[in-house]
Amino acid sequence: MTEILNEILQKFKQKKIIFLVKDIERHPNFKRDNTLQDIANLSNWLYIIDEKDLAVKVASIIDNIPFEGDFVIWNSVVRALSIEALVYEENGELEKANKCISIIKSTFNIGSESEIIKRKKILNRVLNGSLLNDDKILIAKQNNDIQSEITWRFNQFKGLLYIKIMGGSEIYPIERLNAEIVNEKQFLKNNIGIAE
60-85 residue pLDDT tens: 999 999 998 888 899 999 999 999 99
C-alpha–C-alpha distance, residues 57 and 55, integer Å: 5
**What pLDDT is attached to residue 59?**
98
User: Minimal CA–CA distance to 42: which of 19, 57, 20?
Assistant: 20
**What pLDDT is attached to residue 134?**
95
User: Minimal CA–CA distance to 28: which of 18, 14, 39, 17?
Assistant: 39
Residue 13 pLDDT greater than 90, yes or no:
yes
C-alpha–C-alpha distance, residues 24 and 105, integer Å: 27
pLDDT band with cut points at 50, 70 and 90 for residue 111: confident
Whether the CB-CB separation of 87 and 56 falls below 8 Å is answered with: yes
Beta carbons within 10 angstroms of residue 23's beta carbon: 16
Q: What is the pTM of this model?
A: 0.94
Residue 110 pLDDT greater than 90, yes or no:
no
Q: What is the domain partition of the chain in residue ranges?
A: 1-107, 109-196
**What pLDDT is attached to residue 94?**
97
pLDDT in tens, 146-182: 999 999 999 999 999 999 999 999 999 999 999 999 9
Whether the CB-CB separation of 40 and 80 falls below 8 Å is answered with: yes
Q: Where does residue 50 fall: left (phi above 0), alpha (psi -120 to 50 degrees), or beta otherwise?
A: left
Of the chain, the end-to-end C-alpha distance in Å amounts to 24
